[in-house]
């Protein structure tokens, strides 16, 4: 195992995040905090509790999940798209590095960045709304698994995309709508029965539900189903990444 290479890629990516602190940390923290202010404090004060939790606190796990999904995908997709775009990927391909090590470096760095962001937002949210975390281990587990899985998805998108537009397509047109419709701002029990059933086909519902359960012990679907869904998605992404490297798809003709 070429650990020096993994560390080099990881450090390179973390240094890039440091150089772009405004974009990679400050911007997502501020935009997520705005949700707390608008939905939690302003509108939330008119909404009564949801399943025994104040509305402001209720939306925190969903909002963190929204940030986790979009930021993981953006970070990881850009990190591999840019070397392809600029041509510097030649160095990765000509180095004595296995595909696993390349993924470990890039996805590890992207996941680290989003986990740190998630924790910063958690601390920030605590300033606006009263938070409690009933199952901290599970909270961290869901945080790490989600960041990892969606960083892998981002990596796949970064390989697939051949334009900047395509790079933005999935985060903006797929992930954000699915997260908004996935119970970030409401419990799916509040929906009409037919929509409750339809919503269960949205995978993000399981992620938000599991994550919220780790905070308040309330969930829309069982915790086991949430865990199974994230593990299934992780397995799928790993499979696609393995296929990409096996075939050289869009990397190595």
**Least Å distance between CB 92 and another protein?**
7
Element spanning 31, H or E: helix 27-35
Q: Answer yes or no whether residue 18 interacts with another protein by CB under 8 A.
A: no
Q: Answer yes or no whether residue 164 interacts with another protein by CB under 8 A.
A: no
Q: Give dist(CA 223, CA 214) in Å, integer.
A: 9
**Least Å distance between CB 107 and another protein?**
16
Q: Answer yes or no whether residue 8 interacts with another protein by CB under 8 A.
A: yes
- CA-to-CA dists, residue 9 to 15, 80, 112, 189, angstroms: 10, 11, 13, 44
**Least Å distance between CB 253 and another protein?**
5
**Residues 29-68, mask of contacts with another protein (x by CB under 8 A):** ----------------------------------------
Query: Site size for another protein, by CB under 8 A?
Result: 26
**Least Å distance between CB 159 and another protein?**
15
Q: Give dist(CA 33, CA 92) in Å, integer.
A: 38
Q: Give dist(CA 36, CA 164) in Å, integer.
A: 30
Q: Which stretch binds another protein (CB under 8 A): 3-11, 178-186, 190-198, 203-211?
A: 3-11
Cβ distance to another protein smaller for residue 90 or 195: 90
Which neighbouring-strand residues pair with 53? 50
Cβ distance to another protein smaller for residue 9 or 67: 9
Q: Answer yes or no whether residue 4 interacts with another protein by CB under 8 A.
A: yes
Q: Which stretch binds another protein (CB under 8 A): 11-19, 148-156, 190-198, 220-228?
A: 11-19
**Residues 75-114, mask of contacts with another protein (x by CB under 8 A):** -----------xxx-xxxxxxxxx----------------
3-state secondary structure 144-186: HHHHHHHHHHHHHHHHHCCCHHHHHHHHHHHHHHHHHCCCCCC
Q: Which stretch binds another protein (CB under 8 A): 24-32, 119-127, 133-141, 245-253?
A: 245-253
Q: Which stretch binds another protein (CB under 8 A): 9-17, 36-44, 73-81, 172-180?
A: 9-17
Integer Rg of the chain from CA: 19
Give the max Cα distance, the chain.
60
Q: Give dist(CA 13, CA 20) in Å, integer.
A: 11
**Between 3-19 and 99-128, two packed helices, what is the crossing angle to 10 degrees?**
40
- Residue 13 has which token pair? 């990516």
Q: Answer yes or no whether residue 9 interacts with another protein by CB under 8 A.
A: yes
Nearest in space to 212 (alpha carbons), one of 50, 43, 70: 50
The residues that touch another protein, with contacts defined as CB under 8 A, are 2, 4-5, 7-9, 11-12, 15-16, 19, 86-88, 90-98, 248, 252-253
């Amino acid at each position: 195992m070429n650990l020096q290479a993994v560390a080099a890629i990881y450090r390179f990516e973390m240094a890039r995040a440091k150089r772009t602190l405004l974009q990679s940390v400050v911007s997502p923290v501020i935009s997520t905090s705005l949700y707390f202010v608008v939905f939690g404090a302003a509108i939330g004060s008119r909404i009564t509790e949801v399943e025994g939790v104040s509305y402001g606190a209720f939306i925190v796990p969903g909002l963190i999940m929204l940030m986790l999904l979009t930021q993981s995908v953006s970070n990881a997709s850009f990190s591999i798209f840019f070397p392809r775009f600029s041509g510097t990927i030649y160095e990765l391909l000509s180095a004595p590095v296995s595909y696993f090590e390349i993924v470990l470096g890039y996805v590890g760095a992207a996941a680290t960045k989003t986990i740190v962001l998630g924790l910063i937002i958690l601390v920030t949210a605590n300033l606006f709304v009263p938070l409690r975390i009933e199952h901290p281990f599970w909270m961290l587990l869901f945080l790490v698994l989600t960041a990892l899985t969606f960083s892998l998805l981002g990596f796949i998108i970064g390989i697939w995309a051949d334009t900047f537009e395509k790079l933005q397509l999935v985060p903006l047109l797929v992930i954000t709508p699915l997260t908004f419709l996935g119970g970030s701002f409401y419990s799916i029990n509040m929906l009409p029965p037919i929509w409750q059933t339809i919503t269960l086909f949205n995978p993000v519902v399981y992620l938000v539900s599991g994550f919220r359960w780790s905070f308040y012990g309330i969930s829309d679907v069982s915790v086991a189903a949430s865990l199974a869904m994230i593990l299934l998605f992780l397995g799928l992404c790993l499979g696609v990444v393995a296929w990409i490297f096996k075939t050289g798809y869009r990397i190595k003709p």
